[in-house]
Structures are given as C-alpha cells and as structure tokens.
C-alpha cells in the first residue's frame, strides 16, 4: 500500500505541475539535444532545417503513469540572422484522465559576438490543460470534482543562447505566465519563473574520441534547486555517443545515441531511481529521433555538438 500511495503521489504531482503551468519544469533526460523545448533562443543553432521527435514513458512497471511526447522543428531563414520554429508536446497521466498540451511558435535572432554566436529568442503559444474524469470509477456520479474540464492559457517564453565550436551557455524562462491558485485565471508571478541554465564544453582528444561534460540547472523561488549533471563520451568519428547523468531527483541516467548519418540521429535513455526511492519506483524509457536537412546556411560556428 505504501508503494501505491507514493506512486500515485508522484503521478498527480506531475500532472498538477503541468496544470500550474509547469511550476516545476522537468526536461527530458536527453535535454542536451532538445534544448528548444525550454530555450527559444536555440532555434536556428543547427544552421539547417531540423526536426526532432521525443517520447518518454515513466515508471514502466506501473499502470497509468505519465507519458510525454514532443515534436519540434526549427530553421534559420536563408541569408538572414533570423530563425523560426514550432513545438507541440503532450503529457498525460492516469490513463489519459488528465492531459496537458503545449503549442508554441519560435523566433530567434543571431548576433556574432566574439568567437561565437549569440541568439536571443522568444516563443509564444498556449498551454491546453484538460481533465477527462467522467469515465473514472467513483461512488458519487454527481460529484463535480469528477467533471470534465478544459482550460486554455496563452503563454510566452524568452531565452539567450551563446555557442561556439567548443562550448555553449544558455539561460531562459520557458513560461512567463501561470495559473492563478485560487481560480481559473492567468497570473504573472516572478516567484513562479523557472529560470533555467544549460552549458557544455567539447574536449577533443583525437578524431575518434571526444569528451563532452554538460549540465542543466533550474531555479524557482520557494522550490529546491534542480539539476542534471552529464558526461558524454563520443567515439568513431562522432557516430557513437555514451552518456551518463545524475539527476537531483535521485535518478541515474544512461543514454546511447547513434549518429546514423550526417542527417539522422537516434537516441535512447533509461533512468532508474537510487537511494530512498529505489524500492518504490521502476525505471523510465525515453526515445529520440532527429533529422537535419542537408541545406546549411553560412554562419559563424554552427553548433554541431549541441
């Protein structure tokens, strides 16, 4: 019973976090390759038209646990420092009883600064939060707490991203608006900002072996600091990547990624809890597929490894 209670707590916490506009925003394990989801300034950094799909199934041994899917696309405009992008994602839990969708359009502008490029970005869109509880078993069918509900909230995000051939740094606020605690209204509260930071550096020993440490941090007032620390080992002319990560939530992550061609990338990750939560939650699967089209614009220091 204790295990079931703990699992249900985390399931409803995940959905509640989405319903409050991601008061605690959690990235995918492969955050270093889907930066657009939380930093709009990342749009255009691949210097080609890039599409990416991700899927995550959490705590696979339990039924009704969260599932997350996302699709992004972004590209610089030809002969222009401007880049545009698009995102749609979905989080569901409780066998679809509660669901959150995000739809965003992206804009970023590149500036050549020093040895690298600085992009400033903005995104605009909507969070669509829905509850489909009419089919849930319950004792009192007239209970209004189990009525269906859909809430659409416009939202915005901002970010900055600086990158060279050997390192990158980014900072962003993915969501500027949030849901009012007392009623279905929109509020702008600095205390709810998820201020996120990312960074990484590439150390090349030779053509067949490179090392890339990277990290993700998130600060929200009145919430603990969240972080992911990662180390990637890159082999065989950048075709095979092995990454290990540790998350502040008490999970260890293993990632395998294959650069199948210069355009196609596939990634898989598995994370599992350690410490106090080890006996209560099972692992989670995550898949990534990216396609970078061959057209490349002229730009300073394209971020191939980012």
- CATH number of the domain encompassing residue 192: 2.40.160.40
Q: Is 298 a member of any domain?
A: no
Q: Would strands 284-292 and 251-259 be described as parallel, antiparallel, or unpaired?
A: unpaired
Q: What is the mean pLDDT of each run of 10 residues along the chain (306 residues)?
A: 40 40 65 93 93 88 79 95 96 73 96 95 92 58 60 92 95 87 65 91 92 95 91 93 94 94 93 71 87 61 60
Task: State the number of CA atoms in the 13 A half-sphere of 268 facing the CB.
Answer: 4
- Tens-place pLDDT, residues 189-209: 777 888 999 999 999 999 899
Instruction: Specify if 297 maps to a domain.
Output: no
Cα dihedral 48→53→58→60 (10° resolution)? -130
The pLDDT score that the predictor gives to residue 93 is 72
Residue (of 224, 216, 264, 263) closest to 243 by Cα position: 216
Total number of domains in the chain: 1
Range of the domain at 200: 2-292
Q: Are 250 and 276 in contact (CB under 8 A)?
A: yes
Q: Is the dihedral of CA 146, 152, 158, 162 positive or negative?
A: positive
> Which H or E run contains 264?
strand 264-273
Instruction: Write the CB contacts of 78 (distance below 8 Å, at least 6 apart in sequence).
Output: 297
Residue 84 within a domain: yes
Cα–Cα dist 4/141, whole Å: 25
| Rounded distance between C-alpha atoms, residue 142 and residue 146, angstroms | 8
**CA–CA dist 193, 188 (Å, integer):** 9
Please report whether residue 247 resides in a domain. yes
- Is residue 217 included in any domain, yes or no? yes
196, part of any domain: yes
* pTM, to two decimals: 0.83
pLDDT recorded at residue 298: 43
The strand pair at 167-173 and 178-179 is best described as: unpaired
- Residue 301: inside a domain: no
Residue 4's pLDDT is what? 38
Does a structural domain hold residue 170? Answer: yes
CB atoms within 10 A of CB 214: 22
């Amino acid at each position: 019973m204790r295990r079931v209670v703990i699992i249900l707590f985390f399931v409803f916490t995940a959905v509640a976090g989405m319903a409050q506009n991601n008061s605690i925003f959690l990235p995918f394990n492969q955050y270093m390759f889907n930066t657009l989801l939380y930093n709009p300034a990342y749009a255009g950094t691949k210097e080609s038209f890039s599409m990416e799909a991700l899927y995550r199934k959490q705590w696979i041994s339990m039924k009704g646990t969260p599932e997350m899917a996302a699709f992004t696309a972004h590209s610089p405009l030809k002969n222009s420092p401007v880049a545009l992008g698009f995102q749609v994602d979905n989080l569901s839990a409780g066998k679809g009883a509660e669901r959150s969708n995000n739809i965003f359009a992206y804009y970023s502008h590149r500036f050549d600064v020093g040895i690298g490029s600085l992009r400033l970005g903005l995104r605009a869109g909507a969070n669509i939060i829905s509850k489909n509880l009419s089919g849930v078993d319950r004792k009192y069918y007239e209970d209004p707490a189990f009525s269906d509900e859909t809430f659409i909230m416009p939202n915005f995000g901002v970010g900055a991203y600086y990158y060279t051939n050997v390192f990158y740094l980014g900072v962003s606020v993915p969501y500027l608006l949030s849901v009012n605690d007392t009623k279905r209204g929109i509020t702008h509260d600095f205390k709810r900002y998820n201020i996120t930071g990312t960074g990484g550096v590439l150390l090349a020993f030779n053509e067949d072996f490179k090392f890339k440490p990277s990290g993700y941090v998130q600060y929200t007032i009145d919430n603990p600091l969240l972080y992911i620390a990662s180390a990637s080992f890159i082999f065989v002319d950048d075709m095979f990547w092995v990454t290990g990560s540790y998350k502040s939530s008490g999970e260890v992550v293993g990632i395998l990624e294959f650069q199948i061609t210069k355009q196609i990338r596939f990634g898989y990750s598995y994370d599992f809890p350690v410490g106090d939560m080890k006996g209560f939650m099972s692992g989670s699967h995550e898949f990534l597929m990216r396609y970078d089209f061959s057209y490349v614009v002229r730009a300073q220091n394209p971020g191939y490894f980012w």
